[in-house]
C-alpha cells in the first residue's frame, strides 16, 4: 500500500451565509487515480479550489506529503507539485501551443536577466532543453502537428490535451483535472482514459479528477470520493461506490 500523498480532513468553505463545503475529507495515495463525483453544485470544484489555493478554506487541514498547505496562495501550492486544469479551458489563446508549454516551464528556465540579454551559452542551452521537453510532450499527447498554431484556434479536444500537457511541464506530483471529459466524444474519452493511465503508470503522477462521465470514472479510478451538497457522502473503490445505497439515492432521488 503506497503512502498517502494528500490527506484532507475537515475541509470547510463558507461564503458569507453559504456553506459550500462542509467537513470534506479524503486521502489520496501515491500514484493513484482518485475521482471526485457528486451531483451538480455539490461543491466539487470548490474543494479543488481550496486544495489548489485559489480559495482560502474557512477550516480544515490539507497535508501534502505530511506538510500543511492549507491557506497557501495558489502559485505556492503549484510549486509544491500540485497543478490543475479548469472547467473552462484556460490556455493562453494568442500564444502558440508550443509557447504555452514553454511558459509553463518558467520556473525551470534560466531567467537570469544578463544571461538572456547577452544570449550566453547557459541561456541558449536552457531554452533548447525547454523546447525539447515541450516537443517531447507534444508528441506524448499527439499534438506535434499543431505545435505552431495559436492555442485559441485548436479544436476543443486538442485544447484539453494541450492543457494537460501544459500541466506536465511543471513536473507535478499531483495532477488535478476538473471535468476533463466534458464535451468529448466517446473516442476522445477513450484517448483521455489512456492518457490518464499513462500519466499514472509511466510518469508516476497521482491524478485527482472531478468527473460526471460514470463509465470513465468507474473504469479508471482506484478510489472514488462522493460529495453531496458540500458534505462527504461515501468513499471507496468503484465496486463499493456502485452498490452504495446513499450514492444511488443522491443521484437518482428517492426510489
Partner 1 sequence: MPELYHYFQQLINGLTVGSTYALIAIGYTMVYGIIGMINFAHGEVYMIGSYATFIAIVGLSMMGLDSLPILMIGAFVTAMIVTSAYGYTIERVAYRPLRGSNRLIPLISAIGMSIFLQNVVLLSQDSKDKAIPNLMPGNFIFGESAMDGVVVSYMQVLIFVVTILAMLGLTLFISRSRLGRACRACAEDLKMADLLGINTNSIIALTFVIGAALAAIAAVLISMQYGVINPHIGFLAGIKAFTAAVLGGIGSIPGAMLGGLVLGVAEAFGADIFGDQYKDVVAFSLLVLVLLFRPTGILGRPEVEKV
Partner 2 sequence: MTRNLRTAFFSALLVFAVAVPVFGLKLTTVGIRLEVHGSDAKTFWIIAACAVAMFFWQLLRHHAAAGWAASPNLPRIPAGAGSFLTLPSTQRTIIIGLILLALVWPFFGSRGAVDIATLILIYVMLGLGLNIVVGLAGLLDLGYVGFYAVGAYTYALLSHYYGFGFWSALPIAGAMAALFGFLLGFPVLRLRGDYLAIVTLGFGEIIRLLLRNMTDLTGGPNGISGIEKPTLFGLSFDRRAEEGMQTFHQFFGIDYSSINKVIFLYLIAVLLVLLTLFVINRLLRMPIGRAWEALREDEIACRALGMNPTVIKLSAFTLGATFAGFAGSFFAARQGLVSPESFTFIESAIILAIVVLGGMGSQLGVILAAIVMILLPELMREFSEYRMLMFGALMVLMMIWRPQGLLPMQRPHLELKR
In the bound state with partner 1, the residue whose beta carbon lies nearer, of 49 and 159, is: 49
Residue 45 contact, options partner 1, partner 2, none, Cβ 5-8 Å cut-off depending on partner type: partner 1
Under the binding rule (CB under 8 A), the answer on residue 85 touching partner 1 is: no
The residue behind cell 470513465 is: 216
In the bound state with partner 2, the residue whose beta carbon lies nearer, of 74 and 157, is: 74
Sheet strands side by side (includes 59-64): 18-29, 4-15, 59-64, 67-68
Considering only 47-55, 136-144, 200-208, 243-251, which stretch makes contact with partner 1 by CB under 8 A? 47-55
Under the binding rule (CB under 8 A), the answer on residue 156 touching partner 1 is: no
Question: Phi and psi for 152 in degrees, rounded to 5?
Answer: -70, -15
We find the least distance from the C-beta atom of residue 120 to partner 2, in angstroms, to be 12
We find the least distance from the C-beta atom of residue 187 to partner 1, in angstroms, to be 30
Phi-psi region of 142 (alpha: psi -120 to 50; beta: other; left: phi over 0): left
- In three-state form (DSSP H/G/I as H, E/B as E, the rest C), the secondary structure along the chain is CCCEEEEEEEEEEEECCEEEEEEEEEEEECCCEEEEECCCCCCHHHHHHHHCCCCCCCEEEEEECCEECCCCCHHHHHHCCEEECCCCCCCCCCCEHHHHHHHHCHHHCCCCHHHHHHCCHHHHHHHHHHHHHHHHHHHHCCCHHHCCCEHHHCCHHHHHHHHHHHHHCCCCCEEEEECCCCCCCHHHHHHHHHHHHHHHHHHCCEEEEECCCHHHHHHHCCEEEEEECCEEEEEECHHHHHCCHHHHHHHHCCC
Considering only 27-35, 38-46, 89-97, 236-244, which stretch makes contact with partner 2 by CB under 8 A? 89-97
**Binding-site member from 2, 9, 15, 128 for partner 1 (CB under 8 A):** 15
Under the binding rule (CB under 8 A), the answer on residue 55 touching partner 1 is: yes
**Binding-site member from 45, 96, 140, 206 for partner 1 (CB under 8 A):** 45
Under the binding rule (CB under 8 A), the answer on residue 120 touching partner 2 is: no
We find the least distance from the C-beta atom of residue 28 to partner 2, in angstroms, to be 19
We find the least distance from the C-beta atom of residue 10 to partner 1, in angstroms, to be 21
Under the binding rule (CB under 8 A), the answer on residue 54 touching partner 1 is: yes
Residue 107 contact, options partner 1, partner 2, none, Cβ 5-8 Å cut-off depending on partner type: partner 2
Tell me, by CB under 8 A, how many residues bind partner 1. 6
In the bound state with partner 2, the residue whose beta carbon lies nearer, of 81 and 236, is: 81
Considering only 20-28, 92-100, 185-193, 199-207, which stretch makes contact with partner 2 by CB under 8 A? 92-100
Which three three-digit cell numbers place residue 181? Answer: 471529459
The residues of the shown chain that bind partner 1, judged by CB under 8 A, are 15, 45, 49, 54-55, 86
Amino acid at each position: 500500500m503506497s503512502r498517502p500523498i494528500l490527506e484532507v480532513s475537515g475541509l470547510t468553505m463558507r461564503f458569507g451565509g453559504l456553506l459550500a463545503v462542509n467537513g470534506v475529507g479524503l486521502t489520496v495515495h501515491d500514484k493513484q487515480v482518485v475521482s471526485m463525483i457528486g451531483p451538480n453544485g455539490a461543491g466539487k470544484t470548490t474543494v479543488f479550489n481550496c486544495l489548489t489555493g485559489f480559495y482560502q478554506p474557512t477550516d480544515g487541514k490539507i497535508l501534502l506529503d505530511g506538510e500543511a498547505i492549507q491557506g497557501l496562495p495558489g502559485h505556492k501550492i503549484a510549486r509544491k507539485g500540485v497543478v490543475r486544469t479548469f472547467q473552462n479551458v484556460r490556455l493562453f489563446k494568442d500564444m502558440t501551443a508550443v509557447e504555452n508549454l514553454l511558459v509553463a516551464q518558467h520556473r525551470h528556465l534560466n531567467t537570469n536577466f544578463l544571461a538572456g540579454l547577452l544570449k550566453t551559452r547557459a541561456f541558449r542551452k536552457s531554452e533548447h532543453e525547454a523546447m525539447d521537453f515541450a516537443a517531447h510532450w507534444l508528441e506524448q499527447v499527439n499534438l506535434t502537428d499543431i505545435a505552431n498554431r495559436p492555442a485559441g484556434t485548436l479544436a476543443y479536444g486538442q485544447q484539453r490535451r494541450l492543457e494537460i500537457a501544459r500541466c506536465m511541464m511543471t513536473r507535478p506530483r499531483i495532477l488535478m483535472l476538473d471535468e476533463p471529459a466534458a464535451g468529448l466524444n466517446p473516442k476522445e474519452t477513450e484517448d483521455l482514459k489512456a492518457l490518464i493511465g499513462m500519466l499514472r503508470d509511466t510518469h508516476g503522477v497521482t491524478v485527482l479528477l472531478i468527473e460526471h462521465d460514470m463509465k470513465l470514472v468507474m473504469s479508471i479510478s482506484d478510489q472514488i470520493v462522493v460529495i453531496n451538497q458540500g458534505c462527504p457522502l461515501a468513499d471507496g473503490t468503484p465496486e463499493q461506490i456502485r452498490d452504495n445505497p446513499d450514492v444511488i439515492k443522491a443521484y437518482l432521488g428517492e426510489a
